[in-house]
Chain A
Amino acid sequence: MTAAKTTPAVDELEALVGWRFPGGTYTVEPWRVWLTNDVIGAPQRTDGIAHPMFCYYAAMAGLGISIDEMFTLCGASADDGPMFGECDVQQLRPLEVGAAYTVRGEITSAVRKEGARTGVFDIVAFQLEVVAPDDQVSSVVSNSFIFPRRPS
């Protein structure tokens, strides 16, 4: 795991907004589809349509950086106990098994909050587009991570 960094100042946190991910590509491999369907209990289909969870998987795999690198970018590490906040998936058209998709996106918000029970935490949200070989956007995925900011 990546070493934890010092908690960023609020202005450093807010400066993350607009940061664009390097992006990348993701191929919906048939073996991944079979195993994923088996894990989540979805039917094994024969019509070439991938489960909408692949919108999410494609987006995350095509970030162009690892999740640990993303945590580092946000001044955190896996050891800090980051959590999923929200997950928003728009399936504009189903992903196709065997097709290769391009992923692009950026950080869309970064805010610091404080809760009576949870203490100080940051919420960093990002949006990713999953683009089909014909350059049409097949899916838009928006996620957020919650980073607890415990006193050091």
Chain B
Amino acid sequence: MSPSPEPAVGDELPRMVIERVDAEKMKTMAALLADSNPIHWDVDAVRALGMGDAPVNQGPNNLGYVMNMLGDWAGGVERIRHIRVRFLDNVFAGDRLEAGGTVTAVGDDGAVECDVWLARDGTHAVLAGTATLDGQPHVVDAGHRPDH
């Protein structure tokens, strides 16, 4: 997907949907990051902390989804010049997420500023922030996009 030829303030970025957050992928990420926190794989640990009944997604994964949404729109994640987010709530295995955003400014050099968000069921915000995308697109190999 490519950005509209001339993004304008107020444009909604195409939403990206993650139908179901996968607990098995949290295990892979825990191993990749050497993350010792059991809330990412041990449901008993999550329950003992009173956090619910499903593993908690790693915060950086949630940021990664938003970056993917931006990359889908902009023609590649390498066009993300700057992104700043706050983590507002946990994401759990099985959650359905939507990532989206709104164009807030377009610079003379074509750089695009956006508000971005990630929401459970499209309504409950779990991450919010801002991003700046480079004006010059890159040619990228779209490659393979795994299902979630």
Contact = CB atoms under 8 A, between A and B. Distances in A.
Given A39-B25, A53-B60, A84-B59, A44 B82 contact: no
Given A39-B25, A51-B67, A68-B36, A44 B18 contact: no
Contact of B80 (A40, A52, A88): A52
A6 B76 CA distance: 46
Interface string A86-123: 11111110100000000000000000000000000000
B32 A41 contact: no
Interface of A, secondary structure class, is mixed
Contacts of A68: 36
Interface residue range, chain B: 35 or more
Given A78-B37, A86-B84, A43 B78 contact: no
B2 to A, nearest CB: 15
A9 interface: no
Contacts of A37: 146
Interface of B, secondary structure class, is mixed
A52 B67 CA distance: 8
Contacts of A39: 25-26, 28-29, 32, 61, 64
Interface residue range, chain A: 35 or more
Contact of A46 (B63, B143, B146): B143
A37 to B, nearest CB: 8
Contact of B84 (A52, A87, A91): A87
Contacts of B29: 36, 39
A43 B145 CA distance: 5
19 contacts: A36-B32, A37-B146, A38-B28, A40-B67, A41-B65, A41-B146, A45-B143, A46-B141, A46-B143, A51-B77, A57-B33, A83-B87, A84-B59, A84-B87, A85-B87, A88-B83, A89-B63, A89-B83, A91-B80
